[in-house]
Amino acid sequence: MAWQWFHRLGSPKWFYEKTGPWLPWLGFISIALILIGSTWGLAFGPSEAKQGNSARIIYIHVPTAVLSMAGYYVMAIAGAIGLIWRMKLSFMVMKAAAPIGAILTFLALFTGAVWGKPTWGTWWVWDGRITSMVVLFLLYLGIVALQEAYQNQDTADKICAVLALVGMVNIPIIYKSVDWWYTLHQPASLKLTGKSSIDPSMAYPLLLMILAFYIFYTWVLLMRTRVEILKREQKTTWVKDLVARG
Amino acid sequence: MHPVRKQRLLLVLALVVASSTIIGLSVYAMRHYADFFYPVSKIVSGEAPLHKSIRAGGCVVPGTIVSASDRLHTEFVITDGIERVKVVYDGLLPDIFGEGEAAVITGKLNDERVLVATQVLAKHDENYVPPEVASSMSPVERHNEACKGMNYGS
């Protein structure tokens, strides 16, 4: 049957056993790439003509912002799969993604504020980009809080999935805010189509950092999901066996 | 796909479409409130209120920055390529503020439609260039992306 592989993917035991050996690799590669990328960007890459060295915060700011938005799609789509196929594992991924996304969003806002002070002349303004990022942060916090608000895990999962799906519209708003409205935040420097307005000497370390953060995100998401699996499946024999084996 | 799952899939899609439509239309309705600043033309045309705190955004016209030598006082003119507004400011300017750069100014318009600023912010553009590339550029190329190719009427 065509959907069988999909249902097998939904088995927490299968997922737990399959992803175990990936973790050291993901961890090693992501940490190595982050070290290479940040050394490249911070020590060997050029400073920026107008901003000087403060522009180097881009190597943290952009990857955290990209992953805070990509991570939201991961969380919302996991929630949708959970709702449609009643897949427990999918809800566990959704729950695991929420705090990671919240931290990434916070880091993007924080690094933006640190950059804004010397560049714009202020830590904070309520323009379209920053405000929509605050909404993203609150959505993540809302899902973290909702998970704890229900005694019944199944209810919490469904409510969180609905909230995650409703909040999904915020992602294109964040992305397009700088084009739709007059904002203090500048438009995107890296462009999918057309010529990027960031010099290649800065674009390459930046792209490497974005890739590194994607791998790092996968690593952390898998680790958190595995903890959630053990928590929710603690009464099953396979988890008991796992614990007994030490 | 199982019919029950197909139904749930449709429900999820309906939820996403409905919520996106509601939020999208609300955002569209509020689009002018979501602007962080008034472009210069809207100030000159009288859309921006007098004697109320507003924000104006535009490019600093080259050659118009005049700083007092004895006190913290700067005057300059901003433009959006069509209209111009004079700004007076008694405060510290951000480092990347300059001629041909974009700035966002908070202040009140007085009766002469001069913007009396309480805060001047610099707006950086999406261009990231190393210093050695920038020094090989012409002065016009080095200016803010939003201010490029702008007719300053000179």
The closest CB to that of B126, out of A50, A80, A186, belongs to A186
The pLDDT assigned to A1 comes to 54
Say whether residue A77 is in contact with chain B using an 8 A CB cutoff: no
Are B133 and A199 inside 8 Å of each other by CB? Answer: yes
The pLDDT assigned to B152 comes to 61
**pLDDT over 70 at B141, yes or no:** no
Distance from CA of B130 to the nearest CA of A (A): 5
Give the type of residue at A198: I
Confidence of residue B150 (pLDDT cuts 50, 70, 90): low
- What is the share, in percent, of chain A residues with pLDDT greater than 70? 99
Are A49 and B24 inside 8 Å of each other by CB? Answer: no
Q: Which residues in chain A are closer than 8 Å to B134, comparing Cβ atoms?
A: 49-50
Distance from CA of A51 to the nearest CA of B (A): 7
- Which of A139, A205, A128 lies closest to A173, judged by CA? A128
**pLDDT over 80 at A246, yes or no:** no
E strand or H helix at A114: helix A88-119
Cα–Cα distances (Å) from A25 to A171, A205, A216, B146, in that order, read 30, 21, 11, 45
Give the pTM.
Answer: 0.90
Which segments of B21-71 are extended strands (E)?
38-39, 53-60, 66-67
Averaged pLDDT of chain B: 84
Q: Which of A75, A115, A131, A169 is the best residue to mutate to test the B interface, defined by the most B CB atoms within 10 Å of its own CB? A: A169
**In 3-state terms, what secondary structure has residue A41?**
helix
Query: In the Cβ-directed half-sphere of A131, how many Cα atoms lie within 13 Å?
Result: 17
- Which of A233, A185, A163, A212 lies closest to A38, judged by CA? A212
| Residue A229 near residue A91 (C-beta atoms within 8 A) | no
**Winning range, highest mean pLDDT, from A26-35, A123-132, B49-58:** A26-35
Query: In the Cβ-directed half-sphere of A160, how many Cα atoms lie within 13 Å?
Result: 34
Pairing of strands B74-79, B84-89: antiparallel
* Gap between the Cα atoms of A58 and A122, Å rounded: 17
User: What is the mean pLDDT of the segment spanning A82-94?
Assistant: 92
Are B126 and A181 inside 8 Å of each other by CB? Answer: no
What does the radius of gyration of chain B's CA atoms come to, in whole angstroms? Answer: 22
The closest CB to that of A122, out of B23, B34, B121, belongs to B121
Are B36 and A85 inside 8 Å of each other by CB? Answer: no
Average the pLDDT over each of A102-111, A142-151, A222-231, B137-146 and give the range with the smallest value: B137-146
* Gap between the Cα atoms of B96 and A90, Å rounded: 48
**Winning range, highest mean pLDDT, from A176-180, A219-223, B53-57:** A219-223
The 10s digit of each residue's pLDDT in B28-48 is 888 777 788 888 888 888 888
The closest CB to that of B31, out of A119, A181, A183, belongs to A181
Averaged pLDDT of chain A: 91
Average the pLDDT over each of A230-234, B30-34, B98-102 and give the range with the smallest value: B30-34
The closest CB to that of A46, out of B34, B93, B131, belongs to B131
The closest CB to that of A184, out of B9, B36, B93, belongs to B36
The pLDDT assigned to B154 comes to 46
Average the pLDDT over each of A60-74, A135-149, B113-127 and give the range with the smallest value: B113-127
Distance from CA of A49 to the nearest CA of B (A): 4
Are A49 and B134 inside 8 Å of each other by CB? Answer: yes
The pLDDT assigned to A241 comes to 87
- ipTM given for this complex: 0.84
Search chain A and give the residue with CA nearest B30: A181
Higher pLDDT, A5 or A35: A35
In chain B, DSSP finds a helix count (H) and a strand count (E) of 4, 7
Say whether residue A169 is in contact with chain B using an 8 A CB cutoff: yes
Range A216-220 contact pairs with CB under 8 angstroms and sequence separation of 24 or more:
A216/A26, A216/A30, A216/A31, A216/A34, A217/A67, A217/A70, A217/A71, A217/A100, A217/A104, A218/A26, A218/A30, A219/A23, A219/A26, A219/A27, A219/A30, A220/A100
Q: Which residues in chain A are closer than 8 Å to B12, comparing Cβ atoms?
A: 80, 83-84, 165
Confidence of residue A59 (pLDDT cuts 50, 70, 90): very high
| Residue A152 near residue A158 (C-beta atoms within 8 A) | no
